[in-house]
Amino acid sequence: MSMNRLPVRALLPLTLGLSVILACGDSYPPQSDEGLDLVVVFDTSGSMDDAVLDAAGGRSPKHVIGARALASVVARVEEYARPGSSHPRQVRSGLVVFRSGGAAEAVPFGPFDAAALRSWLHAGVTPRGSTPLGRSLEMAAQQVLASPLSRNHILVITDGMNTTGPDPKAVIPQIQSRAEALATAIGVHFIAFDIAAALFDELRQHDVTVVAAADEIQLSDQLSFIMEQKILLESEEPAQPDSFHTQ
């Protein structure tokens, strides 16, 4: 469940100091093949059943809004992976959720499968339980570091602080430490959904970007920016000062 949640009224300016440089031990293969790895960590804790403003001006549960936003991510990756574009076409993806105080694969990591992702999103989820962000990051990092593809990203959508298992601020340095032998970059993208992004400030000390979204429109805007400017194009933008407004 969410802890220390604060109401969000305004979109946090896009704060872009993103890449976490990771290396891994000898148990991982060299990451040299051109292509894209993307693992989404989607918060399924009990607080995701709370409602926020939706795009129609009403209120909908956060997990419903989040699923709609992820459907747009699936569509964009599907377009990107379609033959005929100038970008590398190899894409591997996975979806990690929370389950019984730990992490679970909702869609197993492997070659991008839009149908499997859409099937999970269509089936929906009943939010329950705690927020094991650290364990979910461990699973996501294990997956992308084991892939031979050269570009690796983890996208986290959460409405709460870690409440079970290791804290992300401890997990990230551990991943960095055991990954020293592999010269690869992992972009870690945190979207704080209906929670104060400032509560994740310690993650920024490890070069993780944290941005905020208060409602469906802001979540869509943040996801579009991250997909187009960081995950698919990997352009770099100068970091901007944070600002955050509460009610």
Q: What is the pLDDT of residues 84-143, one digit of tens each?
A: 755 547 999 999 999 999 999 999 999 999 999 999 999 999 999 999 999 999 999 999
Q: What is the pLDDT of residues 51-79, one digit of tens each?
A: 999 999 999 999 999 999 999 999 999 99
Domains of the chain: 19-231 (3.40.50.410)
Q: Measure Cα distances from 8 to 14, 132, 194, 215, 247 in Å.
A: 15, 22, 6, 8, 7
Rg, C-alpha atoms of the chain: 17
Least confident of 71-80, 138-147, 236-245: 236-245
Q: What is the pLDDT of residues 153-205, one digit of tens each?
A: 999 999 999 999 999 999 988 776 665 567 777 888 999 999 999 999 998 88
- Is pTM, for the whole model, over 0.75? yes
